[in-house]
Amino acid sequence: MTTTLHRRDLHTPATEPVRHPIITTAAGRALAVLRVVVGLSFLWAFVDKVFGFGYATPSGKGWIDGGDPTAGFLGKGTSGPLADFYQSLVGDWWVSPLFMIGLAGIGVALTLGIGMRIAAISGAMLYLLMWSANLPPENNPVLDDHIVGAVTVVVLALVAAGNVWGFGKWWSGLDFVRKYPWLR
64 part of a folded domain? yes
Residue 13: per-residue pLDDT: 56
Q: Does residue 182 have a pLDDT over 80?
A: yes
138 part of a folded domain? yes
Q: Does residue 4 have a pLDDT over 60?
A: no
Q: Does residue 124 have a pLDDT over 50?
A: yes
21 part of a folded domain? no
79 part of a folded domain? yes
Alpha-carbon distance of 95 to 70, in angstroms, equals 7
Query: Model-level pTM?
Result: 0.87
Residue 23's SS3 state is strand
Residue 1: per-residue pLDDT: 46
What pLDDT digit, counting tens, does each position of 51-110 carry?
999 999 999 999 999 999 999 999 999 999 999 999 999 999 999 999 999 999 999 999
Residue 43 CB-half CA count within 13 A: 12
Domain span at residue 92? 26-183
Alpha-carbon distance of 175 to 90, in angstroms, equals 40
Alpha-carbon distance of 93 to 78, in angstroms, equals 19
Residue 9: per-residue pLDDT: 46
Residue 141: per-residue pLDDT: 86
150 part of a folded domain? yes
7 part of a folded domain? no
Burial class (CB in 10 A: 0-12, 13-18, 19+), 66: exposed
What pLDDT digit, counting tens, does each position of 126-165 carry?
999 999 999 998 888 888 999 999 999 999 999 999 999 9
Residue 128: per-residue pLDDT: 97
What pLDDT digit, counting tens, does each position of 6-28 carry?
554 445 555 666 555 678 999 99
What pLDDT digit, counting tens, does each position of 134-145 carry?
999 888 888 899
Residue 18: per-residue pLDDT: 52
Number of domains the chain contains: 1
54 part of a folded domain? yes
Residue 150: per-residue pLDDT: 98
Alpha-carbon distance of 165 to 178, in angstroms, equals 21
- What average pLDDT is seen over the chain? 91
Q: Does residue 3 have a pLDDT over 60?
A: no
Residue 179's SS3 state is helix
11 part of a folded domain? no
Q: Which residues of 109-121 are buried (b: 16+ CB within 10 A; e: fewer)?
A: bbbbbbbbbbbbe
